[in-house]
Amino acid sequence: MISRRCCSKMPGNPCRALALALAALFAACSEVPATPAQAPAEMSAIAVPLGLPPMPYPAGNVPTAERVELGRKLFFDRRLSFNGTMSCGMCHVPDHGFTSNELRMSIGNEGATVRRNAPTVLNVGYHTSLFHDGRDRELETQAWGPFLANNEMANPSMGHVIDKLRSLPDYGGMFERAFGGRGPSADTVGQAIASYERSLVSGNSRFDRFRYGGDAGALSAQEQRGFAVFSGKGRCATCHLVGDTSALFSDFRFYNTGIGWVRGLPPSTVHVQLTPDYSTELTEKEILPISETVPNDVGRFEITLDPDDRWAYKTPTLRNVALTAPYMHDGSLSTLEEVVEFYDKGGAGAPEQSPLIVPLALSAEEKADLVSFLKTLNGEHETHVREGLQQSSYVSTGSHRY
């Protein structure tokens, strides 16, 4: 066996004169005792693009190529919901930036509403806590939430999902190969899905090339002005952090921007379009008996019971934000222009709102610049979209294949 230590002592480039040098090389190397063949160490299959930090993962779950592939299959497998219709990938849709563009709040098993907007799972491997309220920390365990939630995939128990996986012939051997002989279990299902999610990196956006790739021309003059507003007058980078060598656009902390508080307020009057040419204003008293009740949601308070956490939600990443409408935990803002207006006014003006959200007095031009900057954050992840769509077993007849 040729040891690397030995080869590095060769003068010049050994590859050039490989044929001639081979005999000499073997002779030289024969002094070095050959190391006994070892099982290859497990290697992370995740290559991180420009603008992102190294992908962290727990020591016990190296995201190998086999685990990522198995996790992808599980993520898009509709058979793993109780009635065989719902997969993770139907709310985290690949060609919707791994969220659902058409729904403010997700719809799960048999039409049941989930009370929040589905966040993107692109770059989710970097999050230090999960969900809008941070109620979970580990991707390894998180998947069991939607697998078992009544309004998501509605499985009666972990055992039910594991038994189903044991009975599905197309999984034959995949778990065992990915996990050194271990078959489907609560742990291995969670580990495979976590590995797939960690592989969903998206970077090398035009912003990354500008900021980290030394390509000053990657952003237009307007987009560069927008970045100046983002990190200066607009104060956005206080929470949506941009580092010196990489950026996740989140501090992963929790703030009350006022959005949740506003949602809990009863509307004073509601504009109702009755026919295409006739609309009217109805009062709260008139609307209540015929409307759906707004699901109660007090954010992080539900986890900590600390009154300071009322209506506080996790700062989301802004990578790919142009792809992940609608916005905020309840999907209540439809466009980036609306989001910028919201911040310019100083948030919703809730009594206990974060003191970091204040009126900004941006000019119309500064607002337009800011929006144009946010649109430069789309990263490269075409491979993830293609592989996801190929994996999904359901193809609709609609305009997009999902």
Choose which of 51, 94, 97, 108 interacts with ligand HEC (CB under 6 A): 108
Tell me: does residue 377 bind ligand HEC (CB under 6 A): no
Choose which of 121, 154, 165, 348 interacts with ligand HEC (CB under 6 A): 121
Segment contacting ligand HEC by CB under 6 A, of 54-62, 84-92, 166-174, 270-278: 84-92
Cβ neighbours of residue 129 under 8 Å, at least 6 residues apart?
135, 136, 137, 252, 314
Segment contacting ligand HEC by CB under 6 A, of 31-39, 59-67, 131-139, 282-290: 131-139
Burial 268-284 (b: 16+ CB within 10 A, else e): eeeeeeeeeeeeeebee
Choose which of 125, 316, 379, 388 interacts with ligand HEC (CB under 6 A): 316
How far are the Cα atoms of 73, 76, 95, 99 from residue 389, in angstroms, in the given order? 11, 9, 8, 14
Tell me: does residue 381 bind ligand HEC (CB under 6 A): no
Segment contacting ligand HEC by CB under 6 A, of 8-16, 55-63, 114-122, 283-291: 114-122
CA dist 283 and 291 (Å) reads 12
Segment contacting ligand HEC by CB under 6 A, of 10-18, 220-228, 280-288, 311-319: 311-319
What is the nearest approach in angstroms of ligand HEC to the Cβ of residue 89? 8
DSSP 366-387: HHHHHHHHHGGG--B-HHHHHH
Choose which of 141, 220, 231, 238 interacts with ligand HEC (CB under 6 A): 238
CA dist 319 and 240 (Å) reads 10
Can you read off the two tokens belonging to residue 279?
């609309």
Nearer CB in complex with ligand HEC: 3/85? 85
Q: SS3 for 157?
A: coil
Question: What is the number of other CB atoms lying within 10 angstroms of the CB of residue 84?
Answer: 11
Contact yes or no for 218/224 (Cβ under 8 A): no
Query: Do β-strands 313-314 and 254-255 pair in parallel, antiparallel, or remain unpaired?
Result: antiparallel
Choose which of 67, 127, 198, 211 interacts with ligand HEC (CB under 6 A): 127
Choose which of 44, 123, 142, 195 interacts with ligand HEC (CB under 6 A): 142
Tell me: does residue 86 bind ligand HEC (CB under 6 A): yes
Tell me: does residue 132 bind ligand HEC (CB under 6 A): yes
How far are the Cα atoms of 57, 373, 377 from residue 221, in angstroms, in the given order? 38, 10, 16
Segment contacting ligand HEC by CB under 6 A, of 5-13, 146-154, 212-220, 268-276: 146-154
